[in-house]
């Protein structure tokens, strides 16, 4: 039973990474019609940025802060940090079990933090798209870009905002995944394909 719960928890945490990546992919694809194969590279950059800032600041920072480009990003990270993966230090306060004296002792505070952050990010994006003027423009652009442009809206600016939000979500997924999976220049590739599957199954827009 404990093994089943552990595997279920691992699946939920991995699903949180895929959900963040897929959400960013959906935002970019729905508005720009671009399948962003560089998304995994942005995840890698976010993960290594978290690694650098952790080393500089001494604590886990609050970083809620196509294909060719992905290879460039991965090779740039490989050139700076080397081809071998490096461990990502989790703060001691987050590495302890959340419920130490229960059957759920394997649920660490970090895993709970990952699940909470993924859920919070998804909720914030939903609220942004559903209840703000920017969200209204983004949804309108995904439905009919030509009409929105004819009404005087700067569609290119919307493209930039959607792309920036998608990249931010990829970077957030990278920082969160680093503590669970470690750092590797190719980690984005391994996480990207399941995220595309989630995107296809969940639909775009």
Specify if 90 maps to a domain: yes
Q: Is residue 204 part of a domain?
A: no
pLDDT tens, the chain, 205 aa long = 556 666 777 777 777 777 777 777 777 777 677 776 666 677 777 777 666 666 665 544 444 444 445 555 665 666 666 666 666 677 676 677 777 766 666 677 888 888 888 888 889 888 988 898 888 888 888 788 788 788 788 888 888 888 888 878 887 887 778 777 777 776 776 677 777 766 666 665 5
Question: Cβ neighbours of residue 84 under 8 Å, at least 6 residues apart?
Answer: none
User: How many whole angstroms separate alpha carbon 158 and alpha carbon 135?
Assistant: 10
Specify the number of domains making up the chain.
1
Dist CA 189 CA 198 (whole Å): 15
132 in any annotated domain: yes
Its domain, for residue 27, covers 20-199
Q: Is residue 177 part of a domain?
A: yes
The answer to whether residue 7 is domain-embedded is: no
9 falls within a domain = no
Structural domain contains residue 1: no
pTM (two decimals):
0.63
CA dist 29 and 198 (Å) reads 14
| Euclidean distance between CA atoms 163 and 104, whole angstroms | 39
Q: Identify whether 14 is part of a domain.
A: no
| DSSP designation for 106 | T
């Amino acid at each position: 039973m404990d093994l089943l719960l552990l595997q279920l928890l691992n699946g939920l945490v991995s699903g949180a990474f895929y959900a963040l990546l897929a959400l960013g992919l959906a935002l970019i694809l729905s508005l720009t019609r671009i399948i962003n194969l560089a998304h995994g590279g942005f995840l890698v950059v976010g993960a290594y940025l978290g690694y650098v800032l952790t080393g500089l600041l001494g604590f886990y920072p609050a970083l809620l802060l196509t294909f060719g480009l992905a290879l460039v990003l991965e090779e740039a990270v490989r050139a700076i940090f080397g081809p071998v993966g490096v461990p990502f230090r989790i703060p001691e306060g987050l590495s302890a079990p959340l419920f130490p004296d229960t059957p759920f002792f394997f649920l660490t505070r970090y895993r709970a933090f990952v699940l909470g952050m993924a859920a919070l990010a998804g909720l914030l994006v939903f609220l942004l798209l559903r209840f703000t003027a920017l969200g209204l423009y983004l949804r309108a652009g995904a439905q009919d870009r030509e009409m929105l442009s004819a009404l005087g809206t700067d569609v290119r600016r919307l493209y930039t905002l959607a792309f920036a939000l998608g990249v931010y979500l990829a970077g957030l997924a990278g920082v969160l995944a680093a503590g669970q999976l470690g750092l590797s220049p190719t980690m984005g590739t391994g996480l990207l394909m399941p995220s595309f599957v989630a995107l296809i199954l969940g639909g775009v827009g």
